[in-house]
Amino acid sequence: MSAPSSAPANKPKAASRPKPLFRYADGPVPNSLAMTYSLFGYVLGIGLLFAESWLLKAAGTLLLAHAMIIGAYLMHEFAHGTIFSKPAHNARAGAVFSWMTGGCYAGFQDLRHKHMRHHVDRADVLTFDSKQFINSLPAWARKIILALEWAYIPAVELLLHGYVILLPFLESSDKQRARRPAVAATLALRVAAFALLGWLSPVALGLYAVAWLLMITVLRFTDAYQHTYDAFAVLEDGDIPADKLRDRAYEQQNTFSNLVSLRWPMLNLLVLNFTYHNAHHEKPVAPWYRLPKLHSELYTDGYRQVVPMKELVGSFHRYRLRRVTDDDYGHFGEGPGRAEGFYGAVGVSFLTAV
């Protein structure tokens, strides 16, 4: 006769521990502060646009622009899944901040997919070749775009955002047809919201536009000098030509850390440490608040790929038209004046899924 079992007959299974809200144990404080600043700054900034004092209006415009800048870089973190432990939470938060920054006409997963291709393919993968489009326009239309760019109005980014809105109505694929109701509803809601803002105060509406353009300009300046990757205009899921070895060495050699400041590293928080770009590409799952430490562990002070922004301002100004039409990014040299021939990229924002 066998001995009776000492184990309970119907022992319940141990309940699995729920995942923490934030992915990393050191993430709650920095991520909560960043998200709160962006959301609260957005609301307060809009409120200040209605102030009687032009000084307060100006402060509100700058605060609004910076809140959107941080919101855009938080979207980048959500795309990499570095903030919340569950992908669904990152996707929902990304969708919220995409409404703030104007990237909401494409689904967050489409934005994420485009950005992940940038990392996986080690290339700038585009579905809309803005340079080819601009160069193929009639002379008068091309001159208008170049005149806007000369005046520091980001016409290329405006074109890309417009293309994202129009794409579902220009193409007849099943995916694009399915997107039409969501894009139309999003456009209607945003037009209504801006119409209300303009009805309450035309000045506030104009200053909101200024703040958004400031955000786009900061993002495009940062994006312009972070890579000298090959750019490919292919279909959404199309393959890029395998004509060279795009390995990790290629990735690092064609990636730049355009730091806001070497002397005062805290200033890089103005762009949520996005400028520590070599460290980000070496370890894409590292959250934004760990990047300065990771950068210092990986690279020496004289690392060639570290290019302070002050060295790039001249090139950004000098080549603001050439960058829009030329097929290459120029040349990054050695020693003093190494960035003088560096045109930079254009139209590679992660806010547009094209």
Tokens of 32: 């909560």
Per-residue pLDDT averaged across 8-28, rounded? Answer: 78
Q: How far apart are CA 252 and CA 177, in angstroms?
A: 39
Does 196 have pLDDT greater than 50?
A: yes
Q: What residue type is assigned to position 240 of the chain?
A: I
Buried-state track 160-190, b at ≥16 Cβ within 10 A, e below 16 = bbebbeebbeeeeeeeeeebeeebeebeeee
In the block, residue with structure tokens 């890579």 = 227
pLDDT digits (tens, 9 = 90+) for 167-183: 999 988 888 899 999 99
Q: What is the pTM of this model?
A: 0.92
Residue 278 — very low, low, confident or very high, per pLDDT cuts 50/70/90?
Answer: very high
Residue 2 — very low, low, confident or very high, per pLDDT cuts 50/70/90?
Answer: very low
Residue 120 — very low, low, confident or very high, per pLDDT cuts 50/70/90?
Answer: confident
Residue 234 — very low, low, confident or very high, per pLDDT cuts 50/70/90?
Answer: low
pLDDT at 5: 47
pLDDT at 246: 83
For residue 54, give Cα distances in angstroms to 207, 208, 213.
11, 14, 19
Mean pLDDT of all residues in the chain? 91
